[in-house]
Structure 1
Amino acid sequence: MAVMAEHTSQMSVDEFETIASAAPETVTLEFIDGRIGVKKVTDGDHDTIVSWLTKRCIQARPDLDVYHGRGLRVAAYRQGRAKPDAVLAPEAHFAAHGEWADPEGSLMVVEVTSYDSDTDRRDRCEKPMAYGQCGIPLYLLIDRDACTVTVHSGPDRQIGGYRNARTAKFGEKVLLPEPMGIELDTEVLKNYVR
């Protein structure tokens, strides 16, 4: 039986929120798995992908709102803080919430990979674990490095992550299962990679 090393947090959530509130607009700070992470400002292709997805989702589901950079309390016992590239939730769902909202009621979170050294750990490992543990039904990862779209579904609140992950190459059609119920034609995404 393997013994897991005890993981200690870099700081408390309150300390992180104080630091994050004073961060310059050139970066976004997140606190996942007890560690502070820095996301640099996105590039135009990244923003275009998020805009493209927003339009498709709102056209298919006008009953939803798409929140960009919405702070969510994530991970075990809500001791983490993440700012996904997009969160889809029922209309006005986050009204009257502060900077860091409970993710309950979110239908899907979206991350578009950035060209930085933390992308693998952050977007492909830590975030699916945190979002699944929160019970967010879907996690959509648009991976510009691999030119793929991965739909994570079946969140596992006990151990984190998702029970299902379906990956498609840019150019293929991708089904976002319920609660979204949308099909995306990802051909256009080929235009927004290096």
Structure 2
Amino acid sequence: MVMTAPKRSDQHAPAEEQPTPRTPREFFESLPPTFSLRAEIIDGNLRMSPSGPLQHARTARRLSRALIPVEDKNDWESFSGDVDVFIEGPRDTLVPDYCLAPVNAPLWGDRELLSSALIMVAEIVSTGSMETDRATKPRIYAEGGIPIMLIIDPIASPPTITVLSDPEKGTYRAMSHTQLGKPVRLPSPVDFDLDLDTSTFL
């Protein structure tokens, strides 16, 4: 015997139901764009954190402006704290404070840049992100094959900028630490013709 449900008026029809997220990845993909919170998947766990302070945005903007000649020369573009990066391998999603990528870099889905397509990322350390920015994210970015990572650390004593490069098996094999205020040379594939003036990050 076939049973049919009674017809309901279209006026009272329920909205189309969405499946309940079961994993951090599904929950992340169901989130609407958030302008005051940053949603990331780190080591398989969904983390929500406030957007960085004004100094984060200012430093990221100054880094972006310094690298405009590199962007123009190579047909690259940059993003400052407003793009999701899908980390191939661990399937995490990070939101770097700064990201350098080819124009029209490939996406995972419709909102995340693929890590394998990126040129460089940068994180700006704050009191609430010290462990994540200094240790956790470098490992994840290396796992994703991103050639260069910068760690701009204005709260270190003394303030420093760390350049990580040559990723292999979840670690960056090349590392250099420079006190903020001194010039830094960025390695391949950026190959910045001039030393990067880090005094603007203080």
The equivalent of 2:12 in structure 1 is none
Alignment CA distance shift 1:38-1:144 (3 Å): farther
**Partners of 2:70 and 2:76 within 8 A in 1:** no
DSSP-derived class of the 1:61 partner: helix
Whole-Å separation in 1 of the counterparts to 2:138 and 2:131: 10
Q: What aligned pairs does 1:119-138 form with structure 2 within 5 A after superposition? A: 119-138=129-148
Among candidates 84, 90, 99, match of residue 87 of structure 1: 99
- Rounded to whole Å, the distance in 1 between the matches of 2:151 and 2:108 is 28
Query: What is the TM-score of this pair, normalised by structure 2?
Result: 0.78
Q: Does 1:107 find its partner at 2:119?
A: yes
What is the match of residue 87 of structure 2? Answer: 74
Q: Distance in 2 between matches of 1:91 and 1:11?
A: 31
User: How big is the alpha-carbon RMSD for the aligned residues of Structure 1 and Structure 2?
Assistant: 2.1
Matched, 1:49 2:59: yes
- Supply the distance in 2 between the matched residues of 1:47 and 1:36 (Cα, whole angstroms): 23
Q: Is contact 2:185–2:196 with CA below 8 Å preserved after alignment? A: yes
Distance 1:61 1:24, change over 3 A: closer
Query: How far apart, CA to CA, are the structure 2 residues paired with 1:130 and 1:81?
Result: 10
1:20-39 matches, cutoff 5 A: 21-22=31-32, 24-39=34-49
Structure showing greater Rg? 2
The number of residue pairs the alignment matches comes to 174
Structure 2 unmatched runs, 5+: 1-21
**Which residue is 1:170 aligned to?**
180
The SS at the match of 2:190 is coil
Higher relative contact order (CA 8 A, sep 6+): 1
The amino acid across from 2:131 in the alignment is R
Report the CA distance shift for 1:14/1:97 in structure 2 as closer, same or farther (over 3 A).
closer
Equivalent AA in structure 2 for residue 99 of structure 1: R
What displacement does 1:93 show? 2.2
Percent identity of paired positions between Structure 1 and Structure 2: 27
- Residue 167 of structure 2 aligns with which residue? 155
CA deviations over 1:99-122 (Å, ceiling 9, x no partner): 123112211011112332xx1221
22-31 or 168-177: bigger deviation: 22-31
Opposite residue 148 of structure 1, the aligned amino acid is T
Q: Which runs of 4+ in 1 moved over 6 A?
A: none
> Equivalent residue of 1:104, what SS?
helix
- Assess if the C-alpha contact under 8 Å between 1:84 and 1:110 holds in 2: yes
Task: Name the aligned partner's letter for residue 85 of structure 1.
Answer: D
Greater mean deviation of Cα atoms: 97-106 or 176-185: 97-106
Question: Per-residue deviation at 1:95?
Answer: 7.6
Q: Work out whether residues 23 and 29 of structure 1, in 8 Å CA contact, stay in contact via their aligned partners in 2.
A: no
- 1:104 and 1:42 map into 2 onto residues whose CA distance is 25
